Amino acid sequence: MAHYLASYDLHRVRLRNRHAMVYKLQSWGATRVLESVWVFNSDLSVSQLREELLAASETGDAFVLFELQPESLWACEKWLTRLEASFGKSVVA
């Protein structure tokens, strides 16, 4: 099972919580970590996931899909550490 991160910009912002792309991500058990950033696990390939997100998108929508690798955690931890230092407090609950 692979780990993925997906993010999108929806053309019709007013429908952002009722958009087919949101429903698709929720159907995969994805967790929303920011307004339009989701993380999830899947047995599907990145190509299969991309095709499903493409089918759920509308004209003017854009999305990115990344397969997360073990090294991704290290890079994220380093980024969060720098971010916390700049704010002077923890940004992770």
* Side-chain-facing half-sphere of 26: CA atoms under 13 Å: 7
- pLDDT tens string 21-61: 899 999 999 999 888 999 999 999 999 999 999 999 988 88
pTM over 0.75: no
Q: What is the DSSP string of the chain?
A: -EEEEEEEE-SSGGGTTS-HHHHHHHHTT-EEEETTEEEEEESS-HHHHHHHHHHH--TT-EEEEEEE-HHHHHHHHHHHHHHHHHHTS----
Specify the CATH number of the domain 2-68: 3.30.70.240
